[in-house]
Structure 1
Amino acid sequence: MQGMMDAVIKTKAAPGSMEFASVPIPKITPEQVLIRIMASGICGTDHSLYHWNEAIANSYKLQFPSIFGHEFSGVITEVGSQVTGMAVGERVTVNPILYCGQCSYCAEGIINICDNRPFLGTDYNGGFAQYVAVRAQNIIKLPDSVSFKSGALMEPLCVAIHAVERVKPAFGETAVVIGPGAIGLLMLLVLKNMGVGKVIVTGAGADKERLATAAALGADCTINVDEQEPVARVRELTGGRGADVVLDAAGHHSVVSQAVQMVAKHGKIGVSGLPAKPSELLMTQIAMREISIVGNRAYERKTWFQAAKMIDGGLNVEPIGTHTLPLKDWEKGMELLDRREGLRIILEP
C-alpha cells in the first residue's frame, strides 16, 4: 500500500519536540502484515519520552523521527507473501516485543527477557499513526467480543497478568496493590477475577480519584497514605498477620521497603515499578521472615492468549481507558497525564 498517513512523530532528543505530521505509509516485508490502527493507548513510557525523562530515554536506542505507541489494536489491511493463517479484515492486537526466538530465554518461552528484544514504539515505529507494519508472529487475533478499545488495553493487562502470575497468590489470600494507576488497577481486576480473598489498594493524596475508581472496580479497601499509615492499616485489616502478597505498581524507591513491613511471613513482593533511585532494604527481615521479592518485566507470549480469554470471558477492562481522543489531539492526552487525570488515554487515528 502506497500513500501517506497521519502520525505523531518525535523529532529530536529533547522535551516536547513532538508533532502531528503526514508521513509515508510503511511498506511491509514478505514476513509482515500491515495494520490499520483503530485504537492506541498512551503509556507512561510514551509520556516520559515525550517529556524526555533522561533515565527512561537512555534505556532505548531511539532514532528520529520516531513514532511512539506500543498499546494498540486494529485491522489487517495487507498480508505479506510469506505469511500464512492471516487475512485482510481480521481484527488484531500486537505483542510489541520483537523477541529473537534464538536465545536460551526464548527457548524457554520467556521472551520478555530475551537477549535481543527490540520494541515496537521505541526501536521501531509504533502505534501513534494510522498504519503500522508488524511481523506476523507478533500478531494476536481478537475474539469478536473484544472491542478495539479493549484490544488496545490488552498490553497493560498482560503486564498485570504476568505480575500476578509470578507471585502466585492463592484462593482466599490477601493482596495489596501499591499504586492505583492503570497497571495497578488492572492488577486489582486480575486478582479479583482469580479469586483472591481481599484486595487492598494504596495510593497518595493526589490519587484520590484513582482510589475511588479502585473501590468502584472491586477493591475491598483503599488506603490514602497521606491520611492513614499504610503498614499499620494493612496489619489491622489482616488481623496483625500482614498481606500474603504485595504488588508494587508505583515505581517509587520507597515502595519495596514499605512492602517488606506490610507483607506476612513467607509472603511475596512483586516488583513491577521502575524507580529512578535505589531502594533501602532490611535484608535481615527478608531472611528471618522468609520474604520473596520477585521482579516482573512485561509478559510472555502465552500471556496474550490469557488476556484475550479473560476479556472474552467477561473481564471488563474498558474503565481503564478513561479518555478517547482523535490522534490529532494527542497533546491533550499528554496534558491530561500531566495533571494526573485519567488512566489510559486512547487515541483513535
Structure 2
Amino acid sequence: MRAIIKEQDTVVVRDIEQPRVQSADDVVICVKIAGLCRTDVFMADGLIQGKDTVILGHEFAGVVAEAGADANGLTAGERVTVMPVMPCGECGFCNAGAKDSCQNTTMLGIHHDGAFAEYIRVPANTVYRLPDNLSFTQGAYSEPVAAALSVMKAGISPQQRGFIYGSNRFAQLILRIMQSYGFNNVVIHDPQAEKLEDNVYDFAIETLATTQAMEKIFRAVRPRGTVVIRSRKHEPVGIVFDVAVKKELTLQAVNYGPFDEAIALMADGRIKVDDLLGSVYALEEFSAVFAASKKGESSKVFFKPESGPCAE
C-alpha cells in the first residue's frame, strides 16, 4: 500500500506492507479520507518527538476491512472514524472514566502509524461508528470538533460575555459549538482588526498563543474572569503575571471533549462544518500541500488514496 512516511529528517511516499489484524481487539480500516493538521506538519518538520519512522496523519474516516474476534462487534464494511489519541487505560484518570485527562496518552501519526495511507490498524476501543448521514469527510473532521468541544469543560456559562482570540478556522469551529450550547454573547476577535477593550469580558478563549496575545487577553478579561487555554505551543509563551494576579484570573487549560459528542453534534445538525472543509489531494501531492499549509489555510485540506480498494 502507499503511505506518507516520516523517516528521520525526511518525508516520503512509498509502498509498504498492508497492516493485518494481529490481536483480538485489532481493527484494520480502509482509509477513505484523512485531514491534514498542524500536528502533521510539526511532525514532518521535526518539532514533535515521535517514532523515528512513522506514517503521518491522525484525522480520518474509512471502512472496516478486517476486525479481530474481540473488536466490540465491529465487522467488515462498517463506516467508522477513530479517536487518534489513545489513553493508557491504567491510570487513575482512566479508571475513573476521565480518559480525556490521561497523562500517558499516545497518538496516531506520532507514536503509532497513522492515516496517510491506504490502510491503518487501530485498537477497537478507539473506533466509532459513523452515522449514515455523515460523509467520510465530515467523519474525518470529528477530531477537530472534539478538540474544539473541550472548551465546554472550562467552567464558563452561557450567561457570560466572552470572546475567542484568533481569526482562524478553529476559532470559527469553537464559536459554532458554543452557540449550539446556548452561548449567544460570544464573538471572535481578529488580532489584526479592532483593539480589545480592557476589563470587559467574563472569559476569553485563546486559539493563537503568543506573549503579545496573552497580554491583550489578560487585559480584556474582567477581574476574576477566566482565560481558556487551548493552543499547543512548542515554544515558551510569556504571561503578564502582575495583571493575572491583580485580577485574580482563572487560567483553565483544556484538551479534548467527548469524541462521541463531537460526532453527534454534526450528525444531529447542531453544527455545520461543510464550509470549513476544503480540497482533497492525492498522497503523492503531500510536499506542496504541506508547504501551502504553513502559509495558512482557510479550510481543512485532505488526502485520499488514488488507487486500490480504498479509492473506490
Both structures adopt the same fold (TM-score exceeding 0.5) = yes
Residue 26 of structure 2 corresponds to which residue in structure 1? Answer: 32
1:61 matches 2:26: no
Count of matched residue pairs? 302
CA contact (8 A) 1:69 1:120 kept: yes
Deviation digits for residues 137-175 of structure 1 (CA, Å, limit 9, x no counterpart): 01111111111111111101101001x212233224322
Matched AA of 2:72: T
Structure 1, unaligned runs of 5 or more: 204-224, 236-240
CA contact (8 A) 1:92 1:142 kept: yes
Residue 324 of structure 1 corresponds to which residue in structure 2? Answer: 280
Measure how far apart 1:111 and its partner are: 2.0
Residue 214 of structure 1 corresponds to which residue in structure 2? Answer: none
Residue 278 of structure 1 corresponds to which residue in structure 2? Answer: 237
Deviation digits for residues 201-251 of structure 1 (CA, Å, limit 9, x no counterpart): 223xxxxxxxxxxxxxxxxxxxxx33432x22xx5xxxxx51222111113
Could you say if the C-alpha distance between residues 261 and 19 of structure 1 is closer, same or farther in structure 2, counting changes exceeding 3 Å?
same
Measure how far apart 1:288 and its partner are: 4.2
Following the alignment from structure 2 to structure 1, what is the Cα–Cα distance between the partners of residues 46 and 3? 19
Following the alignment from structure 2 to structure 1, what is the Cα–Cα distance between the partners of residues 81 and 286? 20
Following the alignment from structure 1 to structure 2, what is the Cα–Cα distance between the partners of residues 21 and 183? 32
Structure 2, unaligned runs of 5 or more: 306-312
Following the alignment from structure 1 to structure 2, what is the Cα–Cα distance between the partners of residues 347 and 155? 16
Report the 3-state secondary structure (helix = DSSP H, G, I; strand = E; otherwise coil) of the residue aligned with 2:16.
strand
Following the alignment from structure 1 to structure 2, what is the Cα–Cα distance between the partners of residues 43 and 337? 9
- Higher mean C-alpha displacement, 140-149 vs 190-199: 190-199
Matched AA of 2:61: S
Q: How does 1:34-113 map to 2 (within 5 A)?
A: 34-53=28-47, 57=48, 60-64=49-53, 66-113=54-101
CA contact (8 A) 2:210 2:237 kept: no
Measure how far apart 1:287 and its partner are: 4.0
Matched AA of 1:9: I
1:10 matches 2:2: no
Could you say if the C-alpha distance between residues 175 and 323 of structure 1 is closer, same or farther in structure 2, counting changes exceeding 3 Å?
farther
Following the alignment from structure 1 to structure 2, what is the Cα–Cα distance between the partners of residues 50 and 181? 22
Instruction: Choose from 214, 225, 232 the match for 1:256.
Output: 214
**Identical pairs, percent:** 23
1:19 matches 2:8: no
1:310 matches 2:265: yes
Measure how far apart 1:38 and its partner are: 0.9
Deviation digits for residues 9-50 of structure 1 (CA, Å, limit 9, x no counterpart): 1121x2xx2121111111222211110111111111111222
Residue 218 of structure 1 corresponds to which residue in structure 2? Answer: none
When normalised by structure 2's length, the TM-score is: 0.90
Following the alignment from structure 2 to structure 1, what is the Cα–Cα distance between the partners of residues 55 and 206? 29
Instruction: Choose from 141, 144, 147 the match for 1:156.
Output: 144
CA contact (8 A) 2:223 2:247 kept: yes
Moved over 4 A (4+): none
CA contact (8 A) 1:323 1:342 kept: no
Matched AA of 1:327: L
Residue 126 of structure 2 corresponds to which residue in structure 1? Answer: 138
Residue 117 of structure 1 corresponds to which residue in structure 2? Answer: 105
